[in-house]
């Protein structure tokens, strides 16, 4: 069975969705949740599903302590689901094409440092965009610049607010993120 590690910094709705999706699948399961935020709600969600959690500091991420923990688990895939720190090169080099992220916009637009969550949705509304969407991509050493695996768009109206855009994006994330992870793992087997 394939092993998935999920990294998250906040509420953990995507992490929990992935955990639930793979709970009864034979291909893979989430074996650990890593977070840099000791008060993140993702910790409670992981506990609810009996998934071990690793809480770490930014320094531990950069000084290879987190890499050691990852290597002990030996995952087949590392999934960033609302993880807000830049992923360090030394981990990316150890796991090429094994780390993916979901971004709440259609990359390459609205990517980069500081572009996350409501900041993105506000920029999209302010720019009167006609559509937005999600991008699932490989992680490289630059924010939101890794190869795109999957994108799905959603139409916007002039009445959309950053909050309604967030709701539309959340629906896309919940629907597609676990499926794309499944497809990646299945392709790797086949």
Q: Give the active site residues.
A: 103
- Dihedral of the alpha carbons of 83, 70, 42, 3, in degrees to the nearest 10: 110
Using an 8 Å Cβ cutoff, are 76 and 95 in contact? no
Beta-carbon contacts of 1 under 8 Å, excluding residues fewer than 6 positions away, are 26, 27, 28, 29
> What number of residues does the chain have?
190
């Amino acid at each position: 069975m394939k092993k998935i590690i999920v990294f998250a910094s906040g509420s953990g709705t995507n992490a929990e969705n992935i955990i639930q999706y793979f709970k009864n699948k034979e291909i893979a399961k989430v074996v650990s949740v890593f977070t840099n935020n000791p008060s993140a709600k993702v910790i409670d969600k992981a506990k609810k599903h009996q998934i071990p959690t690793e809480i770490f500091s930014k320094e531990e991420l950069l000084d290879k302590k987190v890499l050691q923990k990852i290597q002990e688990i030996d995952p087949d895939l590392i999934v960033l689901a609302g993880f807000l720190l830049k992923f360090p090169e030394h981990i990316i080099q150890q796991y090429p094409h094994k780390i993916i992220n979901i971004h709440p916009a259609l990359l390459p637009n609205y990517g980069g440092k500081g572009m996350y969550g409501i900041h993105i949705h506000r920029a999209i509304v302010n720019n009167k965009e006609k559509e937005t969407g999600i991008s699932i991509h490989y992680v490289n050493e630059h924010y939101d610049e890794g190869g795109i695996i999957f994108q799905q768009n959603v139409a916007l109206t002039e009445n959309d607010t950053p909050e309604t855009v967030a709701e539309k994006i959340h629906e896309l994330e919940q629907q597609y993120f676990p499926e794309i992870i499944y497809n990646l793992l299945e392709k790797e087997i086949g």
